[in-house]
Amino acid sequence: MASIQLDKIGKSFGAVDTIREIDLAIDDGEFVCLLGPSGCGKTTTLRMIAGLEQPSRGSIRIGGRDVTCAQPKDRNIGMVFQDYALYPHMTIADNIAYPLKVRGVAEATRHEKAREIAEVLHIGQLLDRLPAQISGGQQQRTSLARALVHPAAAFLFDEPLSNLDARMRVEARAFLHHLQRSRGMTAVYVTHDQAEAMALSTRIAVMCAGDIVQYAPPLEIYRRPATTFVAGFVGDPPMNLVAAQATRNGHDVALRGAGLQMAPIVSWPALDLALERSDRVTVGVRPEHLRITAGDVATNRLHGKLFANEAMGPESLVTLDLDGGVRVTARIFGDASLRIESDAAFAFDADRFTLFDAQGVRIPGAAEDPSN
Amino acid sequence: MNRRKLVSRIVFSVCAALLGVAFALPLIWFVFAPFNAQADLDLALPKPPTLANFARVFANGAAVGALLNSLLQAFGTVLLVATTATLAAYALARTTLRGKRVIEYVLLLFSSVVSGSAAMVPIFLIVNALGLIDTQLAVILVFAGGLLPTAMFILRDFIASIPRGYEESALVAGASQWRAFVDVVVPVLRPGVTIAAVWAFVQVWGGFLIPFVLLRSEQRMPASVEIYSFYSQAGTPIVPLLAAYSVLYSLPVIALYWYVNRKYGFRFFGGIKS
């Protein structure tokens, strides 16, 4: 196992900068997810670590060794591909044993090793089959076994669960989590599914348009999203974002937006700084921090017309169309009997919102150490 | 079934049957004539069937040697074309070479327009200058040169249909570029190479002009040229011998098709199960 450092890595295709400049330090034994929408450069970043793509600038180190210009074969990595990329003409045993074969391990030894890892992954009975003869979930585990059969310095995953059905995906996710934590392997995992990133990572790097927007542990990202982009990407449903205008009155700040009423808040240095630049802010509230109110609450409320009321079983997702046209969703635990198109309002506690400045960057809370 | 449908069905069947007979007649002749000592161009049942025609053909040493020459030229060309076209097509399909489009366009032009009888005189002059006139090597090289562009096009499309993930997963597994090509691309590509090889084989087998122009001695001529030794001085065919020799001449191609079809089936796609 080894650490991975990306130092000022950039990648350009012609005149287009796919990756602008990325710094990423992954410690030994960490599970880091590269999370972002399609086209954000996460797969390109992973392929540069694998050596399948040559960076235009910057350097890459694995286990302290500079591998920026090294061939993929000289990086000692295991990789799982989105489409599994199993060799169609080889049996499952030969597929799994291939990394050992190219390293010159004798046939009997490598098939023994393949059998061992296949047993761990519950595909031991399939070793004589061809990839086309086994199910998608079994192909996924074969591909995982092939990556694990040789003790690599790091393991790279390119959306390995996206071709599985929903139930299999959750099962495979828990299995990966267990495997990585119990073996302490260094893993880099690309996904656009924020739930996967939350469940698996020790740290998440949220990417947007070729940049890392935030690199932090999952709960840190969930509780203190660095930008409105992160806030709107992480969480299911994601954080509700409502535009507001700030008016100063001495130390007090009044926030007002379409469909939003808030009690005046006492300003703090970070907020002062933000308001000096612009009086436009965004108020973010997580769906689970909203509750339905009968209308007796005058402040810290969002009101509008009921758009949808989806009962999910343990919870209901209630969506309002605010007067300003923005849509907000609440997670209500228990049943909410509301009629579509009727007037409704959500309330939230005074300490349960996040403020973003006019550029969409989070304004640190009053209690936070601003140097953080 | 209503009347109209029935009538159109009958008309279609009769037309199809007539067409079928028209195409079948030469084949039926081809089955009977070699075994008929008095065969001529009419269709006739051999009475009695005999192998005498074959015996006379085998007594002709040059004719038998010509079949071996054909095999030598065909296998030599196929080997050369299959190897070089696979490597070249891989490079064309997988690299982002500057000016790749131009190379492909020139190849297409040369394969379909410039080659063939129009290029025979310059080809003869080049082969003569190399001192290779009347050698099997010259025939193989010239055939291979003519067949390469098309073989490359066939294979390039096969390679383009192979997901890059196969090679990439081999590369990260620790294989070199060459190793990944040999271990993963070549086996997956085998149906494509086979199709290109069969096609090249048939081209060489039936090719007349190139060996006819480049070879001098009768003992080096392939069957496609030597078959004319079963014509009299006046140019009329000696039908019984010609028929028997034609059967021998066709057998390798038929055997090849049968073998390839049994092994791969003639599937004109990349042969990859996703």
Amino acid type, A109: T
Find the mean pLDDT for residues A293-300: 79
Average per-residue pLDDT in chain A? 91
Q: Which residue in the set A51, A88, A102 is minimally distant from B173, CB to CB?
A: A102
- Buried (b) or exposed (e) across A328-358, using 16+ Cβ within 10 A? bbbbbeeebebeeeeebbbbbeeeebbbbbe
- Give the tens place of pLDDT for each residue, B6-17: 999 999 999 999
To 10 degrees, the CA torsion angle through A325, A330, A334, A340?
A: 10
CB contact under 8 A, B176 and A71: yes
Find the mean pLDDT for residues A348-363: 92
Find the mean pLDDT for residues B143-160: 89
CATH of domain B62-263: 1.10.3720.10
Give the H or E element holding residue A222: helix A218-223
Look at residue B51 and tell me whether its pLDDT is greater than 90: no
Alpha carbons A41 and A45: distance in angstroms, whole number: 6
B-facing residues of A in 111-170 (CB < 8 A) are: 131-132, 143, 146, 150, 156
Domain extents for chain B?
3-50, 62-263
State whether ipTM is beyond 0.90: no
Alpha carbons A187 and A156: distance in angstroms, whole number: 6
DSSP assignment letter at A160 = T
State phi, psi for A20 to the nearest 5 degrees. -85, -70
pLDDT for position A187: 94
Look at residue B267 and tell me whether its pLDDT is greater than 70: no
Substitution target in A46, A49, A71, A77 with the highest count of B β-carbons within 10 Å is A71
DSSP assignment letter at A132 = G
Q: Judging by DSSP bridges, how do beta strands A265-266 and A203-208 pair with one another?
A: unpaired
CATH of domain A237-356: 2.40.50.140
Q: What angle do CA A51, A57, A59 make, to 5 degrees?
A: 60
pLDDT for position B274: 37
- Preceding omega of A287 cis (within 30 degrees of 0): no
pLDDT for position B92: 86
State phi, psi for A150 to the nearest 5 degrees. -110, 135
pLDDT for position B101: 81
Alpha carbons A24 and A281: distance in angstroms, whole number: 30
Find the mean pLDDT for residues A155-160: 94
Substitution target in B96, B98, B166, B169 with the highest count of A β-carbons within 10 Å is B169
**Tokens at residue A157, please?**
């995953």
CB contact under 8 A, B273 and A88: yes
Domain extents for chain A?
4-232, 237-356
Q: Partners of A212 in the beta sheet? A: A207
Amino acid type, A258: A
A13 touches B: beta carbon within 8 Å? no
State phi, psi for A240 to the nearest 5 degrees. -75, 135
CB contact under 8 A, B173 and A99: yes
Nearest chain A alpha carbon to B185 = A87
Find the mean pLDDT for residues B117-140: 91
Give the distance from residue B151's alpha carbon to the nearest chain A alpha carbon, in angstroms. Answer: 23
A30 near A154, Cβ under 8 Å?
no
CATH fold label, A4-232: Rossmann fold (3.40.50)
A24 near A61, Cβ under 8 Å?
no
Chain B contact set for A81 (CB, 8 A): 165, 168-169
Q: How many CB atoms lie within 10 A of CB B11?
A: 10
Find the mean pLDDT for residues A265-270: 90
A268 touches B: beta carbon within 8 Å? no
Substitution target in A13, A44, A48, A52 with the highest count of B β-carbons within 10 Å is A52
Alpha carbons A291 and A301: distance in angstroms, whole number: 9
Percent of residues, chain B, with pLDDT higher than 90: 46
Length of chain B, in residues: 274
**What count of CB pairs under 8 Å joins A to B?**
71
Amino acid type, B159: I
**DSSP characters for chain B?**
--HHHHHHHHHHHHHHHHHHHHHHHHHHHHHHGGG-TT--SS----SS--SHHHHHHHH-HHHHHHHHHHHHHHHHHHHHHHHHHHHHHHHHHH---TTHHHHHHHHHHIIIIISSGGGHHHHHHHHHHTT-TT-HHHHHHHHHHHHHHHHHHHHHHHHHTS-HHHHHHHHHTT--HHHHIIIIIHHHHHHHHHHHHHHHHHHHHH--HHHHHH--SGGG--HHHHGGGGB-TTS-B-HHHHHHHHHHHHHHHHHHHHHHHHHT----S-----
Amino acid type, B115: S
Sheet with strand A65-66: strands edge to edge = A16-26, A4-13, A57-62, A65-66
Average per-residue pLDDT in chain B? 87
Amino acid type, A213: V
Alpha carbons A199 and A174: distance in angstroms, whole number: 8
